[in-house]
Structure 1
Amino acid sequence: MSNTIHSKGQEVLCQVLVEARKAAGLSQAELAKKLNCQQSMVARIESGQRRIDVVELIVIARAIGAELHDLLANVEAAVPISHHL
């Protein structure tokens, strides 16, 4: 199994989340409040230090007010067909 924590797809996911949060006009602290977590947790997610699962991605997308399929479309384009788990 390869280590995907620093994969291109993971990097793009982090970038997409940051861009969506900023487009929604939210600071990390404001998003954290909506998620009922600490700002440091949002910072770790956005920096790639903490990975999220699909359920967490749904919750974050809803908190930001972003469409999940739009976020995923950007990430999907960055994941190569030959990517292994």
Structure 2
Amino acid sequence: MASMARNTKYEHFQGALIEARQKNNLTQQEVASRIGKPQSYVSKYESGERRLDVVEFLDVCKALGVKPISILKRLDTDDQEEIYP
């Protein structure tokens, strides 16, 4: 499989998830155990090798002990139109 194209917003998303994990003093293994996945699952979404769908994202946030909106607020949305004015 070809590597995913770099996407700055997704990189910010990854960084926010990594930062949340580190601020909560959690290892990748601890997060993985909380969501019932192998440690490599966490490593892959943190490195950008795989992407999270919305349901997976919610599970990860719960495991990290953070509200999903706190992660989403970290993303830069300046160059997108508002969906709801």
Q: TM-score, normalization: structure 2?
A: 0.83
* Equivalent position of 1:50 in the other structure: 50
Residue 41 of structure 1: how far off its partner (Å)? 0.8
User: Quick one: percent identity of the two aligned structures?
Assistant: 31
Q: For 1:66, what is the secondary structure of its paired residue?
A: coil
Residue 22 of structure 1: how far off its partner (Å)? 0.7
* Equivalent position of 1:62 in the other structure: 62
Contact 1:9 1:79 in 2 (8 A): no
**Structure 1, unaligned runs of 5 or more:** none
Residue-by-residue CA offset, 1:56-76 (whole Å, 9 max, x unaligned): 11110011000111100002x
* Equivalent position of 2:79 in the other structure: 80
- Report runs of 4+ in structure 1 exceeding 3 Å deviation: none
Residue 79 of structure 1: how far off its partner (Å)? 6.7
Pairwise CA RMSD:
1.8
Instruction: Looking at secondary structure, tell me which structure has more helix per residue.
Output: 1
Residue 80 of structure 1: how far off its partner (Å)? 3.1
* Equivalent position of 1:35 in the other structure: 35
Code of the aligned partner of 2:79: P
Question: Which one has a bigger Cα radius of gyration?
Answer: 2
* Equivalent position of 2:9 in the other structure: 9
